[in-house]
Structure 1
Amino acid sequence: MATSRFLGYLESRKNIAGSACGLAGLVLTFTGAAGPYWPVVVTGLYAAGALIAPPERPPLPDFPDPSAQLDELRADFGRLRDYLADVELPPAASGRLTELTDLLTALLDPGWVAEVLAQDPEGVHALSRAVRQDVPEAVDTFVRTRWWTRLTPGTDPPERHLERQLSVLQEEFTALAATLRDVEARRQESHTRYLEGRSG
C-alpha cells in the first residue's frame, strides 16, 4: 500500500513540477548563483514547485455509455416480451399492447435509430422506465385486479384502466419517435444549408 502510494507520488504532477524547479536550483548551483546555501535553494525550489502544481484530478467514474445502456435495455425488453407472451389479455388491451411493443421494438432496434436515441438521455430514461416499470406494472396490476373483480362484480372493469395506461404510453413514445425524426430533419436541413453556403 505504502509502496504504491510512493510510486503514485513519483508520477504525480506535484513531484514532476517540484523536480523541474529543483533542477533549476541545481543549474543555479552550478553557475555559482546559489552559493554555499545551494541545498536550501534546491530544496526550497522543489517545495515551491510541488506547492504550485495543480492537484491531481481523480478519474471520472466509468459509467456505461448510452449504447451499452441500450444493449442492457434490449435484453430487459426481451425478458418483458417473454413475460407478456404468457399473459392473457382482452382483445382491445392486447391490440394496444401489441402496438406499443411494436413501437418500442422499432425504437430499440440496433442501427441508426438507436444511434439517434443514444444522443437523447431523457428518451433512453423514458424507454428504460417503460420497459422495466410502466408496462410490467400496468399488466401485472391488471392481472391481480381482474382476479378481485371476479369476487366483486359490478365494479369498474380493470381492462379499461389497462387500455388507458397503454394509450398514454403509446402517446408518449409516439411523441419520442416524432422528436427523433425532427432531430434527423434538422440535421438534413443543416447539411442543405452547409452545401448551399459552400457553393456560394
Structure 2
Amino acid sequence: MATSRGGAVWAYLDSRKNLTGSACGLAGVVLTFTGVAGPYWPVVVAGLYGAGALLAPPERPAPPDFPDASAQVREVRGDFDRLRAYLADVELPPAAEGRLAELTGLLGALLEPGWVAEVLAADPEGVHAVSRAVRQDVPEAVDAYVRTRWWTRMTPGQEPPERHLERQLTLLHQEAERLAGRLRETEARRQESHTRYLEDRPG
C-alpha cells in the first residue's frame, strides 16, 4: 500500500497539473519579490498554483501499440511457412493434394513480400481472410481428414473423408480467388483514377 501511495505521489509530481501549477506558483513568487503580492503573497502563490493545476490539460494515457497492417501480413507469412512445413508431413490423396497445392500457391502469392503484400495489407478484410485460412481453415480441414480417415479404416463402408476435404479445399480456393479478384479491382480502379487525373489535368 505504501509503495502504491509513493508511486502515486511521484506520478503527480511528474504530471502536467503539477508542472503547470508550479510554473504559475513561481510566477507568484516573482510577484512577491517585486512587491506586487504584498503581505498576501502565500495566498497569491497558492492561488496561482491551483489555477495552473486546474488549467493544465489532463493526462492522456498512451494508446496501445498494436502492429500495423504490414506487420500483421509479415506475421501471417511466418505462420504460412509453418503451415507448409506441417502440410509437407501429411499424406493426402492425389485429388486433394492437387487442390491443396492450388490453394497454398494462391495464398503464397498473396503473401509474397513486395507490392502484392502491400496491396493486401491495405485491405483489412483481406488480411483477416488470409489469416483465417492459414491459421484456422486449412490446418483444421487437413487435421479433420487425418482423424476421420483413421476412424473410417476402423469402420469401413462410411463416406470417404477425402470427399469432404476436397470440397473444403475447393471452397477455400474459391474464397481466395474472390479476394485476389477484389484486390485486382482495387489496383484497376487506381489505374483508372490516374488516367482520369492525367486527362483532367490542365495542359
What is the TM-score of this pair, normalised by structure 1?
0.88
Report the counterpart of residue 50 of structure 1 in structure 2: 53
Q: Which residue of 1 aligns with 2:93?
A: 90
Q: CA deviation at 1:39?
A: 1.5
Answer with 180-189 or 132-141: which moved more.
180-189
Q: 1:1-200 residue pairs with structure 2 within 5 A?
A: 2=6, 6=10, 8-30=11-33, 32-199=35-202
Deviates more, 1:44-53 or 1:92-101: 44-53
Q: Secondary structure at the residue paired with 1:110?
A: coil
One-letter amino acid of the structure 2 residue matched with residue 65 of structure 1: D
Unaligned runs of 5+ in 2: none
Structure 2 vs 1, CA of residues 38 and 189 (structure 1 numbering), >3 Å: closer, same or farther?
farther
For 2:55, the aligned partner's letter is I
Q: Give the C-alpha shift of residue 48 in structure 1.
A: 1.6
**Aligned-pair identity (%):** 75
Amino acid at match of 1:62: D
What amino acid does structure 2 have at the position aligned with 1:101?
T
Q: CA deviation at 1:187?
A: 2.0
Residues 135, 52 of structure 1: alpha-carbon distance in 2 compared, 3 angstrom cutoff: same
Output the aligned Cα RMSD.
Answer: 2.2
TM-score for the superposition, normalised by structure 2: 0.87
Equivalent-residue separation in structure 1 for 2:99 and 2:117 (angstroms): 23
Moved more, 34-43 or 104-113: 34-43
Q: Once structures 1 and 2 are overlaid, which stretch shifts more, 61-70 or 174-183? A: 61-70
- Structure 1, unaligned stretches of length 5 or more? none
Write the letter of the residue equivalent to 1:181. Answer: R
